[in-house]
């Protein structure tokens, strides 16, 4: 008879391990010493075991992750438009160096003056996804239709709610009709997304993870409700949504955040009676945690943020240059390093071989559930106020995020480490000019960086 490994050891429960930990602490309080009370309001234990999953809907969480049909992710680079020749050259160079898709920022250009065939020369949108950020989405789509006679991939970076919440655009009822037209005009192009629900709206204002998830989910539900009121079906609207998530430095929490969004969105779509509850998630590294002093440390933050994104199961990933926070000029070195972070994770670390790397981890499954529960409760509280637009009008969203931001600043001032900012500063760092922050009406959400108070 084959002997089983470890038969000679007695089985231990989690209580046995806790008892041993308490003994080893020699009088120190277990809860105060080893349990982490998160800023979001729940507790993270020092270790997890199989018994911790007894009350966790693991199957439902993993089934939501399985809606991501293929392993790996799409590397996406951002291109700032100066002119057609420059942008086209930048796109082709990016595609030749590990990038699968590009996002072109046309927000400072008049769409009518852009030569689309020249901009997209040698680029076939049915093979290469191209995303467009512009102030006139209707005109851009019309220009694309003249040039593209097939089903394009990519989409429009269009988030009217995010623009309103940050004061970039007024609340305009006509926006919903425009959004409806974008959806119907691209109905025959299933891989072309026209609604971008952006978590960075809340993330960059200082929201904690629960707030970011809940308010992003509430924004997506508002799109569903407003556009079904315009006569579309929930399925039509959901199929055109791409979530855009900023990924911060809290490694495991950010992994759980992505998995939680996929799980919670599946619950929302199920409530609308949809059988296809899949969720497309684009992740990108955080602006909020970028620092101007010792800016090379931003590369290290970007690496952990990118790892969290791919382990969490993103569909696409954007990594910006370490110096983007203080320069507007393209820097080929920083852009190449940013691209190669994703290439290293995919080609050298093999993280692109699995669809749900975190599946089965006692800790991450539990954390995903805790985060989902807290975010769902806050989402319901927002819905009870009449939805996120009503909650924003009464300044509930702004007030809650401001509290979270001030807590983060206080933690940094009281000793929480931010490398190169309040600890481990480089004596050789060359001071950079600080980026100017536009004044934002206090009624709207600002775009912030955590390290500003130390710069």
Tokens at 329, concatenated: 């000029």
How sure is the predictor about 21, in pLDDT bands with cuts at 50, 70 and 90?
A: very high
At 119, list the tokens.
Answer: 């901009």
pLDDT in tens, 264-291: 999 999 999 999 999 999 999 999 999 9
Residue 341 contacts residue 283 (beta carbons within 8 Å): no
Burial class of 66 by CB neighbour count within 10 A (0 to 12, 13 to 18, 19+): middle
Mean pLDDT of 107-121: 94
What percentage of the chain exceeds 70 in pLDDT? 98
Instruction: Find the distance separating the first CA and the last CA of the chain, reported in whole Å.
Output: 68
Per-residue model confidence (pLDDT) at position 50: 93
Per-residue CA distances from 242 to 57, 77, 102 (Å): 25, 16, 15
pLDDT in tens, 122-156: 999 999 999 999 999 999 999 999 988 889 999 99
> What pLDDT, on the 0 to 100 scale, is given for residue 170?
87
Strands 241-247 and 192-193: unpaired
Residues 72-90 have pLDDT tens digits of: 999 999 999 999 999 999 9
């Amino acid at each position: 008879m084959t002997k089983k490994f470890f038969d000679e050891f007695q089985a231990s429960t989690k209580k046995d391990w806790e008892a041993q930990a308490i003994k080893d602490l020699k009088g120190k309080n277990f809860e105060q010493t080893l349990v982490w009370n998160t800023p979001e309001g729940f507790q993270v234990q020092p270790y997890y075991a199989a018994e911790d999953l007894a009350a966790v809907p693991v199957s439902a969480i993993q089934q939501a992750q399985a809606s991501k049909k293929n392993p790996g992710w799409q590397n996406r680079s951002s291109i700032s438009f100066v002119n057609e020749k420059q942008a086209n050259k930048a796109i082709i160079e990016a595609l030749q160096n590990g990038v699968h898709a590009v996002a072109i920022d046309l927000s400072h250009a008049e769409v009518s003056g852009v030569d689309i065939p020249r901009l997209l020369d040698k680029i076939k949108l049915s093979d290469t996804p191209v995303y467009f950020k512009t102030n006139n989405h209707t005109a851009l789509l019309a220009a694309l239709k003249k040039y593209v006679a097939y089903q394009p991939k990519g989409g429009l970076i269009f988030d009217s709610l995010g623009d309103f919440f940050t004061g970039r655009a007024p609340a305009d009822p006509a926006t919903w009709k425009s959004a409806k037209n974008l959806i119907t005009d691209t109905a025959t192009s299933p891989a072309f997304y026209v609604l971008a629900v952006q978590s960075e709206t809340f993330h960059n204002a200082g929201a904690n993870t629960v707030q970011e998830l809940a308010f992003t989910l509430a924004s997506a539900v508002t799109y569903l409700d407003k556009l079904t009121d315009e006569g579309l079906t929930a399925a039509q609207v959901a199929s055109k949504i791409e979530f855009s998530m900023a990924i911060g430095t809290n490694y495991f929490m950010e992994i759980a955040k992505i998995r939680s969004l996929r799980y919670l969105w599946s619950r929302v779509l199920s409530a609308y009676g949809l059988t296809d509850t899949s969720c497309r998630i684009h992740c990108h590294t955080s602006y909020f945690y970028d620092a101007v002093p010792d800016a090379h440390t931003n590369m290290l933050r970007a690496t952990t943020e990118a790892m969290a994104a791919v382990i969490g199961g993103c569909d696409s990933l954007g990594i910006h240059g370490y110096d983007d926070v203080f320069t507007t000029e393209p820097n080929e070195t920083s852009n190449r390093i940013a691209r190669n972070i994703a290439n290293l994770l995919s080609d050298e670390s093999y993280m692109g071989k699995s669809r749900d790397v975190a599946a089965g981890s006692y800790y991450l499954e539990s954390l995903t559930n805790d985060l989902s529960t807290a975010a769902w409760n806050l989402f319901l509280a927002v819905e009870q106020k009449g939805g996120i637009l009503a909650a924003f009008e009464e300044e509930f969203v702004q007030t809650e995020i401001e509290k979270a931001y001030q807590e983060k600043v206080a933690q940094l001032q009281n000793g929480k480490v931010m490398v190169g900012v309040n600890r481990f500063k480089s004596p050789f760092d060359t001071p950079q000019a600080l980026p100017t922050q536009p004044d934002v009406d206090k009624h709207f959400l600002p775009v912030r960086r955590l390290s500003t108070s130390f710069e």
